[in-house]
Chain A
Amino acid sequence: MSTTTVATGRDLLAEFERGLDAPICLTWELTYACNLACVHCLSSSGKRDPRELDTAEAKAVIDELERLQVFYVNIGGGEPTVRSDFWELVDYAVAHKVGVKFSTNGIRLDKTAAARIAATSYVDVQISLDGATAEVNDAVRGEGSFKTALQALDNLAEAGATDFKISVVVTRHNVTQLDAFKKLADDRGAQLRLTRLRPSGRGADTWDELHLLPGQQRVLYDWLVDHSGEVLTGDSFFHLSAYGEALPGLNLCGAGRVVCLIDPIGDVYACPFAIHDEFLAGNLREAGGFTSIWRESALFSSLREPQTGGACASCNFYGSCRGGCMAAKFFTGLPLDGPDPECVKGYGEEALAALGEIDRPRPGADHSRSIPLMVLKPKNAPVPACAEDPLAGFDPNEVAVSSLSR
Chain B
Amino acid sequence: MALTAVAVETFDADSPWDLHESVSVRPERFGALLYDFRTRRLTFVKDPVLQKVIDALSTSSSAREALALVKVPQEDHERYLSALARLAETSMLTPRSQGEIT
Q: Does residue A69 face the partner (Cβ distance < 8 Å to B)?
A: yes
Among listed A39-47, A354-362, A393-401, interface-contacting one = A393-401
Contact with A4, one of B24, B30, B47, B82 (Cβ below 8 angstroms): B47
How big is the A interface, by class? 35 or more
Whether B73 pairs with A71 at a CB distance below 8 angstroms is no
Whether B41 pairs with A399 at a CB distance below 8 angstroms is yes
A213–B20 alpha-carbon span in the complex (Å): 46
Nearest neighbor of B44 in chain A, beta-carbon distance: A400
On whether A393 and B40 interact (CB within 8 A), knowing A7-B31, A12-B30, A403-B1, the answer reads yes
Contact indicator per residue, chain A 148-166, by CB within 8 Å of chain B (1) or not (0): 0000000000000001000
Whether B47 pairs with A121 at a CB distance below 8 angstroms is no
Main secondary structure of the interface of A (DSSP, over half): loop
Using Cβ atoms and an 8 Å threshold, which residues of chain B touch A401?
43-47, 50, 83, 86-87
Nearest neighbor of B79 in chain A, beta-carbon distance: A404
| CB of A59 to closest CB in B, whole Å | 20
Using Cβ atoms and an 8 Å threshold, which residues of chain B touch A5?
47-48
Q: Does residue A122 face the partner (Cβ distance < 8 Å to B)?
A: yes
On whether A99 and B41 interact (CB within 8 A), knowing A12-B30, A404-B46, the answer reads no
Using Cβ atoms and an 8 Å threshold, which residues of chain A touch B80?
404
A402–B80 alpha-carbon span in the complex (Å): 10
Q: Does residue A405 face the partner (Cβ distance < 8 Å to B)?
A: yes
The A76-126 residues at the B interface (CB cut-off 8 A) are 97, 99, 121-122, 124
Contact indicator per residue, chain B 7-48, by CB within 8 Å of chain A (1) or not (0): 000000000000000101010111101010111111111111
Nearest neighbor of B7 in chain A, beta-carbon distance: A403
Using Cβ atoms and an 8 Å threshold, which residues of chain B touch A373?
none
Contact with A398, one of B30, B42, B86 (Cβ below 8 angstroms): B42
Using Cβ atoms and an 8 Å threshold, which residues of chain A touch B39?
163, 397
Q: What are 14 A-B residue pairs whose CB atoms fall within 8 Å in the complex?
A: A4-B47, A4-B49, A5-B48, A6-B46, A7-B30, A11-B30, A20-B28, A71-B26, A71-B35, A398-B44, A399-B1, A399-B41, A401-B87, A402-B46
